[in-house]
Amino acid sequence: QQQVKQSPQSLIVQKGGISIINCAYENTAFDYFPWYQQFPGKGPALLIAIRPDVSEKKEGRFTISFNKSAKQFSLHIMDSQPGDSATYFCAAGTGGTSYGKLTFGQGTILTVHP
């Protein structure tokens, strides 16, 4: 019940295209859904996050879409750039102990070709 399932495992997109990564969760207690970006040899960095009271959040080229009834959320990267090539992780958390205790998806390796 604590799992967060992420797909696809890897994704190849042409420069200027749209990258879409999907996640699904089971635990309805989750109320915080961040996305992290990780470059090789670095720690994950928070990209964008959403709470279940909204269905969409946009920051620049990055958008989270959230479907509470389906227990799914997705990351859309518009106008994908080679510099976006990285591993992306979705995560979910609750405020019970702390929102810093997150359950992560397995990750998606995104490659953007020039």
Number of residues that bind another protein (CB under 8 A): 26
Query: Residue 110 half-sphere exposure, CB side, CA atoms within 13 Å?
Result: 31
Task: Return phi, psi of residue 84, to 5°.
Answer: -80, -10
Minimal distance in Å, beta carbon 47 to another protein? 12
- Told to check if 107 binds another protein by CB under 8 A, we report yes
Considering only residues 22 to 41 of the shown chain, the ones binding another protein according to CB under 8 A are 32, 34, 36, 41
Task: Write down the least CB distance from residue 102 to another protein, Å.
Answer: 6
Q: Please give the Cα distance from 75 to 103 (Å, whole number).
A: 17
Window of 13-21, 54-62, 71-79, 97-105 that interacts with another protein by CB under 8 A: 97-105
Give CA–CA dist 82/105, Å, rounded.
23
Cross-strand pairs, 88: 37, 108
Residue closer to another protein by CB (options 12, 18) is 12
45 touches another protein by CB under 8 A: yes
Torsion angle defined by CA atoms of residues 28, 67, 46 and 41, in that order, rounded to the nearest 10 degrees: 90
Note the residues at the interface with another protein (CB under 8 A).
Answer: 4, 6, 32, 34, 36, 41-46, 49, 89, 93, 95, 97-107
